[in-house]
Amino acid sequence: MSIGIRIVLVDDHAVVRSGLRRLLEQNTGMQVIAEADSGEQAYQFYGEHLPDVLVMDMSMPGMGGLESLRRILTRYPSARIVIFSMHENAAFASQALSAGARCYVAKSGAADDLVRAVKEAFAGRGYLSPSVAQNIVLQTMSGGEDPTQRLSAREFEVFRMLAEGSNVEDIALTLKISQKTVANYQTLLKQKLGISSPVELVRLAMRHGVIES
């Protein structure tokens, strides 16, 4: 008997995963075959289970969803990934889509949004929560450029971690790169974003919703 769409679910909160599993499995033709609680585990489980669709939170301790997304797609280019995030702003959504996510769903949206996103991703199509799509359109129409959208997925992740107060050593450890590489990213970020101090970096991150103000 066919089990339909096989899903791996990734969120660092067990209660959230439990709710999502119930929501998805209420739909005939969907089955959650594994759950992960970190970006590291998401990468490992994707390789072990090769699901039809990966549903993953964006913000998790350690290697975040964006870095995990980047790594999974580097190794498995045909992976169908749905990002399910508390961030509705254009910066996060644009980064996730640029990095290769098929769909981006806001946690604050309707429950049906996630079900629809999984179905669309499985069919090889894209989907955005209406609120997220609206924010992207509004930003485009306002003409106010968001410099964070010029960053690659890896650059954005280093930027986010610096803004949250992580030091070079912590970032190197989390992303499994050398401290020298992190320092190079710091220099690159200053050039790309037109900033010269850590305070300016934090202000910019707040202005564009990358961290809470």
Per CATH, the number for 5-140 is 3.40.50.2300
Give residue 59's pLDDT.
Answer: 83
pLDDT (tens digit per residue) in 47-83: 999 999 999 998 887 778 888 999 999 999 999 999 9
Q: State the pLDDT at residue 200.
A: 93
Please tell me the predicted confidence (pLDDT) of residue 162: 93
Q: What DSSP state is assigned to residue 213?
A: -
Contact assessment for residue 65 and residue 36, using Cβ atoms and an 8 Å cutoff: no
Tell me phi and psi for residue 154, to 5 degrees. Answer: -65, -45
Reported as half-sphere exposure (CB side, CA atoms, 13 A), residue 171 has a value of: 23
CATH 3.40.50.2300 in the chain: give the residue spans. Answer: 5-140
CATH of 147-207, one of 3.40.1180.10, 2.40.30.40, 3.40.720.10, 1.10.10.10: 1.10.10.10
pLDDT at residue 213 in the model: 65
Residue 209 pLDDT? 79
**What's the predicted TM-score (pTM) here?**
0.81
> Which residues of the chain fall short of a pLDDT of 50?
1
Q: Is the CA virtual torsion 33, 29, 98, 109 positive or negative?
A: negative
Structure confidence at residue 55 (pLDDT): 97
pLDDT for residue 47 = 96
Element housing 83 (H / E): strand 81-85
Q: Where in the chain is the domain with CATH 1.10.10.10?
A: 147-207
Q: So what's the pLDDT on residue 144?
A: 61
What's the pLDDT at 190? 92
3-class DSSP state of 210? coil
